[in-house]
Structure 1
């Protein structure tokens, strides 16, 4: 093809290198190879040879003689390539003077110059990389009824995982077309360019069915997670079984407390430089909530502020930055802001303006309004979240905690229990929420059970709840020990009173806790008086 005279080959090659360093291409051998091949072939004067068959053989490693009509892999990756270029030019390449595009209906790139807008240069701006996941059709299907159920199950798993903004999910149509070619898992992952694969099988015997779902890391073929569901075969005819399984699978795999990010957070990001290419925001969030201390939180603030400055349209990044400010306020850490709660609200609102489906934005605002003692706003934002067609399990637990603290006990208890039953990996304050609930219900033994499950992750609130429960249970020795520890943290009575009302908006609950702590003080005083009289 003829190039505009002002776009030299050297300029195009230089620009190509910048694009290939963009995470979408740098993390994908297929997309980087695809783009490099079509650009180099075009500049070498061989644009006429850029056909689907040629790309399949030269880029995707297809065997000679393969039929492009029955194999959609080149078309699938061409669509992903165009999307990757759009992401690059709307992010770090927004000010680039050269534009490389691949019009639909052809595989021949077009090179052109574009006018700069005069805004600050974003050269070398890193972007947000997300794990890519594909759902493959289930195997070992024995009859047509199982095939229909499995297809619907896989399609819904794919659709619901796509609701997580922290994941990039390949359409089930593409995965199913690929799997129909009887390609093994390793090659399917390579051809789909997926970091993780969801697959499984369905077996039936007599009146029972066994459904096995697996999550596999495609490059290593390592089994990351698996679960088995056994049901009556008669249940296959309705949607209830499908919804139940999908909900469990999706919340085990996706979200900030799902297995993908738990695996990713095993590394310690505190050792790395402030670079979103090194550690994704969701990985950082998971690490932060499981190891809360002031240096970690301050590092997290620095990382997340850097992240949203590099990518101002990253809604999830804004939500996590906001929640980090809220966490800093709660723990009394230095956030570098006069009013960290106000900053948290700004970030949460920004996240939802950018993308109303960013569920962490609702959690950030729910917590921030709770700590600001704005009950109306807290309940309102939770109500808006409840209108979403899909509700992330981890966020439902967080908002359940907010509801309990706001005095909406039954509504919050339902969300918290549901969240914990589906995914047992959650932050300590979920346990505190259940302890508050049972204490309010005067089930002090159950409240003590949940308080003890905090296990030192917030020793202050663990001691407050344990002391209150033990005093009501008349366990004098244990109550004295817990109360003594508590007074080491909070020696001032007025400060203890202030803590109880800091975010618990139910006056009835606060008063019951106050009474229990006063009783603990009396138990301690009586014990001291007895010891002095004996001496």
Structure 2
């Protein structure tokens, strides 16, 4: 049976007064209503219709099939309760839940276990009386290790769940390490064996390939999420402790205990006295554990799970207000909510910004004032908009506002026809376009921040802005300043993954552009690879870190692995135009000119203000594909006068287009800036993974432009590439 009514009400009061219960006023009313109805014996009345009418003020024509307000609010309330019990409520005596598929609350009593101060839940069972003996019996069972059959059953339960990812090799990874452990071969579970047997790497696999570490991090997060959602009451927990790949198996204390015969239950008032006595005795121990658990829980729920020394405040903060429904159709409200949800999925993928969470966004009215966003939430930007449906037409208007002065810094309209495109495809496409336009490194928010930085900006964020400014011009002078700035940042914030990734690219530029090379340090390629791997270790899903690792591996002649990581990163965030342009550049240089050009076109279409570096590569791709007018137009848009390689590409393009004077002028400028390049041209082209046939074509055109390429280079290229690459 459920705990006494007075204990349940005390728990509800405890939850609603806690600062760790991040629920909206609407969700507070929702919780109060379902609890009161349930405790008053009217649980059968708790349906979507009654909640909508009595809590949300819907009229009697409410149809839950057309209006999802109750489902959405229930989902948010479940998350708020889950987070509360992971933080402040870790040691509360009663657990209140809203099971999926229902709005009737459940109440579970937690009794401290002797000696260890942890808790075990006793689920509500209306057909059986509650007793302390039952709890003690369940405690004994919970201490028994699960059998092999129990673990295999749990493994099947996890991998078949819709809450467990079906993409990638997470299922195969988990199955392998579980079966090896159950077979007594846990000592064999190493990065090498997993790489060979799960990810089908060759026998030459080394730890330089981070695939196992990356996938293990992904698998750990998938298991954490599974046990927070679908697996909360599963009988067995499977975990992968950090620092190794050998799984652990344990009884899940959150699982409902098996029925146990017991003596008649004491009256409710006796139960209350017994529980109170138990809590008085064990509260000091639990109090200390709660502090520790609260800190751990709080760390888990921090955005992106950053280490404490990472400068979270340095990134601009964005709030997404619910989009206003201006439509006249029955599903218009659902459309608006769906678009808001898609935006809250697409925007947080950009690590350069901080997006306020779903719960906060859902609590805001569509017409929320900018002063509230700035003063209460401390956010610099507000994204809002509206959705209007009329017949089969749907029109979305999106606006980005600067809360410092109330100005609209960007707005756009998107129109679609519901008869020709699926609604969900429209929502996703619009959300991706908005995210790419405003959030990516050269987007609207970065431009505004550069033009008028907020007064409380700190040096760490300035460094990231300066990095993108450097990438836009590629000058040797700015390279030195940004490199020094980022080196100071990682010294102060060693867990700042994005800064390590940017530093990796700057180290690489010492070699490929000959910018500010240092003789008193390890080789630039070595430092670039080390910094990229450091970034991946800190944050395996960080797009800038994956971009840096891809680029470092590319210049270390690991083309196939570099492209694999680049494709993985692009799948993680398909709207990041900085990554998209870099991947397109690397593919093109490696001989895949058509695919590279297509990615560059997409990146430049999504973000016309992207780095001139990508315009230059796109111009070179047009040259290699025989589209010389497009090549001439593209090199004119690149405008990278301070970058030596810009001038050699320009010379090649102008020469082939018959612009002899321009070609010779560009060639002479290049020779002044990089006199060391031509004498080592075979090595310079090879390190960029340019294919032999493409190298020969480029050399022929360089000579046509008047660049003094030495005789015999073609033979050297043929010899260098005689062996398989």
TM-score (ref. length: structure 2): 0.52
* Residues 1:178 and 2:364 are matched in the alignment: yes
Cα deviations by residue, 1:122-178 (Å, 9 ceiling, x for unpaired): xx9783422222211112522332221121111111111112222222223321223
Distance change >3 Å, CA 489–CA 263, structure 1 → 2: same
* Residues 1:234 and 2:419 are matched in the alignment: yes
Larger Rg: 2
- TM-superposed CA distance for 1:249, in Å, is 0.6
**Candidates 273, 282, 287, aligned match of 2:464:** 282
Task: Check whether the contact 1:448–1:465 (CA below 8 A) recurs between aligned residues.
Answer: no
- TM-superposed CA distance for 1:381, in Å, is 2.4
Cα deviations by residue, 1:305-331 (Å, 9 ceiling, x for unpaired): 222222222211211111121223333
**Candidates 482, 493, 497, aligned match of 1:311:** 493
- TM-superposed CA distance for 1:335, in Å, is 4.6
SS at match of 2:343: helix
Give the structure 2 partner of residue 479 of structure 1. Answer: 663
Give the structure 1 partner of residue 244 of structure 2. Answer: none
- TM-superposed CA distance for 1:233, in Å, is 4.1
Equivalent residue runs for 1:428-439 within 5 Å:
428-439=612-623
Question: Structure 1 residues 275-284 or 310-319, which shifts more?
Answer: 275-284
2-structure distance, mates of 1:434, 1:222: 35
- TM-superposed CA distance for 1:427, in Å, is 1.3
Give the structure 2 partner of residue 243 of structure 1. Answer: 428
Give the structure 2 partner of residue 146 of structure 1. Answer: 332
1-structure distance, mates of 2:359, 2:420: 26
* Residues 1:406 and 2:590 are matched in the alignment: yes
Give the structure 2 partner of residue 218 of structure 1. Answer: 403
* Residues 1:333 and 2:515 are matched in the alignment: yes
* Residues 1:252 and 2:434 are matched in the alignment: no
Question: Structure 1 residues 476-485 or 426-435, which shifts more?
Answer: 476-485
Task: Check whether the contact 2:16–2:28 (CA below 8 A) recurs between aligned residues.
Answer: no
2-structure distance, mates of 1:428, 1:220: 31
Task: Check whether the contact 1:445–1:469 (CA below 8 A) recurs between aligned residues.
Answer: no
Kindly report the root-mean-square deviation, in angstroms, between the aligned alpha carbons of the 2 structures: 4.0
**Candidates 341, 347, 357, aligned match of 1:161:** 347
Cα deviations by residue, 1:403-430 (Å, 9 ceiling, x for unpaired): 1111122222222111111111211221
Question: Structure 1 residues 235-244 or 194-203, which shifts more?
Answer: 235-244
Equivalent residue runs for 1:25-44 within 5 Å:
none
Cα deviations by residue, 1:454-504 (Å, 9 ceiling, x for unpaired): 213445333322322232223334434444444444567525565444425
* Residues 1:202 and 2:387 are matched in the alignment: yes
Distance change >3 Å, CA 483–CA 268, structure 1 → 2: farther
- TM-superposed CA distance for 1:229, in Å, is 0.9
Distance change >3 Å, CA 293–CA 490, structure 1 → 2: closer
Task: Check whether the contact 1:178–1:188 (CA below 8 A) recurs between aligned residues.
Answer: no
Question: Structure 1 residues 490-499 or 474-483, which shifts more?
Answer: 490-499
The unaligned stretches of length 5 or more in structure 1 are 1-48, 56-65, 84-105, 115-123, 524-535
Equivalent residue runs for 1:399-478 within 5 Å:
399-478=583-662
**Candidates 498, 501, 520, aligned match of 2:705:** 520
Give the structure 2 partner of residue 187 of structure 1. Answer: 372
Task: Check whether the contact 1:252–1:258 (CA below 8 A) recurs between aligned residues.
Answer: yes
Task: Check whether the contact 2:347–2:435 (CA below 8 A) recurs between aligned residues.
Answer: yes
Task: Check whether the contact 1:162–1:168 (CA below 8 A) recurs between aligned residues.
Answer: yes
Cα deviations by residue, 1:193-221 (Å, 9 ceiling, x for unpaired): 43221100123456533211011122422
Distance change >3 Å, CA 451–CA 223, structure 1 → 2: same
Distance change >3 Å, CA 403–CA 255, structure 1 → 2: same
2-structure distance, mates of 1:255, 1:332: 28
Distance change >3 Å, CA 482–CA 168, structure 1 → 2: closer
SS at match of 1:212: strand
1-structure distance, mates of 2:384, 2:440: 19
SS at match of 1:453: helix
TM-score (ref. length: structure 1): 0.69
Give the structure 2 partner of residue 14 of structure 1. Answer: none
1-structure distance, mates of 2:699, 2:605: 31
Give the structure 2 partner of residue 393 of structure 1. Answer: 577
- TM-superposed CA distance for 1:281, in Å, is 4.2
- TM-superposed CA distance for 1:521, in Å, is 2.8
Distance change >3 Å, CA 230–CA 238, structure 1 → 2: closer
Distance change >3 Å, CA 149–CA 410, structure 1 → 2: same
Give the structure 2 partner of residue 294 of structure 1. Answer: 476
2-structure distance, mates of 1:282, 1:314: 11
2-structure distance, mates of 1:287, 1:490: 23
